[in-house]
Chains A and B, each alone.
Chain A
Amino acid sequence: MKKPVYPCCLAVFCFSTGIIVGRFWGVPFVYLGYGLLLLFFLNAFLLRRKYVSQFFLLLLIFLFGIFWTQVRLQASADDISRLSYEIRRQMMMVEGKVASEVEYRQFFKRQKTMFVVEVLRVKIGDKWQKRRGQLVVQIFRPVALEYGDVVWIEGRFLPPFVKEDDGPVSYADYLEIRNIRYILSVKKEGKVEVVEKGKGFWLKAFSFRLRQKLFGIFDRHLTVNEAGLMKAVILGERSHVPKHVNELFLRTGTVHVLAISGFNVGIVAALFLMAFRFFPVSRRMMLGTVIVLLAGYCFLVGSAPSVLRSTIMIIILLTGFMLEKEPQPINTLAVAAFGILIFNPLYLFDIGFQLSFICVWAIFIVSPFLSKETNILEEVPGYNRNFFRWLWHSLALSLAIWLAVAGLIAYYFRIVTPVTILANLPIVPIIGAVIAFGFLLILVELCFPFAGVWVALALKFVLNAMIAIVFLFDQLPWSSFFFNSVTHWHLIIYYALLLTALIIVLRINVSDNKQKVTHTK
């Protein structure tokens, strides 16, 4: 047996397999307990046997994945989802604490109020019963509420809606990943009463207030559509993105730029690092402060899996700089995955998590093979060579990412977008400018409000130029193809073929290198 090059990757693979088994098949807790104990002692006794103990350790991680997922899926006896059907179908009074930002969405001619409530008590008959768990609340009228309010809400329990054209992941699946199984629907005349205020976690309350303040900056200087786009790119609020703009980005395969990911967090880190250069602080102090600020930014934008992934990776990288050690990128990726899956194993089934990780995997593994320079570049005159080298590397990177995510995109969104490979070339640098201008606008508004309008105009120009370019790419023939349905078998076959091709390329590469070494000898 060869020594594994990426031990963390193997561990994450075993843990993820355990999560899949735990979610879809399940193993009785008694067997799991015996298995975990047995493997633990086997590991302890066979610690000196290098490969045998490694095998048992991986098996232990696999079983732990099953166990952890099943614990997460198991609702406690007083969980709100455990109410009997007879009780659930009646109108019910729930006492709970507003646990998320309160959103006001357009619903036909009216507005509806939406938020997540952390249940404290439920009134059954004339008695209050203590209950736990979370519910999504939909009130079909605007109600002035904020995070941390303790409220009495009268409504009806509904399972999340599952539509025929939902695709492989429905709204119910999305909520289940976040441990929410019911919606509390409150009609126009349903009772909503605030019992107590300010009961939320102070840091979260502060982050929501800060978000609203930052939303205000974009609302003041930009049009509704432009502000909606900026809120998504800078603060991770996707619900404000105009539908037609979202569709344009989806059809050109560039929708990833609207979600906060490694690219965005990287730019934020670079901006922080650059800004700290002007302060007389030591290198370690500067890196430490940037790590804290990045964690704060991750908290501010809502800690979605892709944000968590990129923040963890960049924090590991910066810590490496602090300790003067160079982290191994693939192992860093695996550590980030392990951290997120420990936090919530069901994130493995989240689209954002899957796309984010496969994308970075493609950047580290697939892209270097594709971007190997050919002899053609050597024939290009010197002054053009750098440009062509950049173009070649960018195209290779774009192709690698597209190949990696195409299967998942086709499976979830029923669309394949070959135009992405070209569209990424101008869009990625432009979105970099948009993010930088967005942060500059916030900074200028806070320090020199009179100059905010100039930064906003520059931002407006770049933002609209980006939309015009995306629109032009969408107009190209065969830019995107729509599918009726893509099954999980198509997905498995696609990734099996991709992996086989990668292994073949890898082997050819290794044999080429060996030949080169023997020739030089």
Chain B
Amino acid sequence: MFNQQEKIFLLGICAVLFFGACLDLAFKQFPFLSSIVNVMESPSVYPKVDVNQANREELVRIPYIGDYTAGRIIAYRQTHGGFRSLEELKKVTGIKEKNYERFKSYLKVRP
């Protein structure tokens, strides 16, 4: 009735539906699993750049950081010997709380 390729095709569709139904059941039983699967929404998967190591080009690539802000960050780093925490970025001239909130997920401070 069906040849091998057709069987694989239909089995594939069934497998996807079965897998999805299992996930549906698992998410209903254990709601915390949903947040584990939703990796894309988590700030932990943002491409992070070490604010103490990054050069101008790397900083400029980060959304909401322009050439001016990158220059100010590098200047601050040079005069103060680096950042001890991400919060310290707010001390850089021109970086306000709102801007900091926008790009902080893209930055890290390596101890």
Contacts and interface: CB of A to CB of B under 8 A. Distances in A.
Interface of A: 164-165, 223, 225-226, 229, 242-245, 247-248, 251, 274, 277-278, 414, 436-437, 440, 451, 453-461, 463-465, 467-468, 471, 474, 482-484
Interface string B51-83: 000010110111100010000000000000000
Given A244-B105, A463-B40, A484-B57, A454 B45 contact: no
7 nearest A-B pairs in the assembled complex, by CB-CB distance: A454-B20, A458-B20, A464-B39, A457-B23, A457-B20, A471-B45, A244-B46
Contacts of A464: 37-40
A248 B46 CA distance: 7
Given A244-B47, A248-B45, A458-B23, A467 B39 contact: yes
Nearest to B18: A454
A467 B40 contact: yes
B47 A251 contact: yes
Interface of B: 3, 5-6, 9, 12-13, 16-17, 19-21, 23-24, 27, 37-41, 45-47, 55, 57-58, 60-63, 67, 105-106
A297 to B, nearest CB: 19
B32 to A, nearest CB: 15
A40 B13 CA distance: 58
Contacts of B12: 436
Query: Interface SS of chain B: helix, strand, loop or mixed?
Result: helix
A248 to B, nearest CB: 5
12 contacts: A248-B47, A251-B47, A277-B5, A451-B17, A453-B20, A453-B24, A454-B24, A455-B17, A461-B19, A464-B37, A471-B45, A471-B47
A484 B105 CA distance: 24
Contacts, number: 92
Contacts of A248: 45-47
Contact of A229 (B21, B37, B40, B63): B40
B68 to A, nearest CB: 11
Contacts of B61: 247, 482
Contact of B41 (A223, A278, A474): A223
A465 B105 CA distance: 20
A410 B58 CA distance: 14
Given A274-B5, A278-B6, A453-B20, A414 B57 contact: yes
Nearest to A474: B47
Contacts of A468: 39, 45
Contacts of B20: 453-459
B13 to A, nearest CB: 7
Nearest to B24: A457
Contacts of B38: 223, 460, 464
A482 B6 contact: no
Nearest to A226: B40
Contacts of A458: 16-17, 19-20, 23
Nearest to A248: B47
A474 B21 CA distance: 32
A32 B62 CA distance: 48
B106 A244 contact: yes
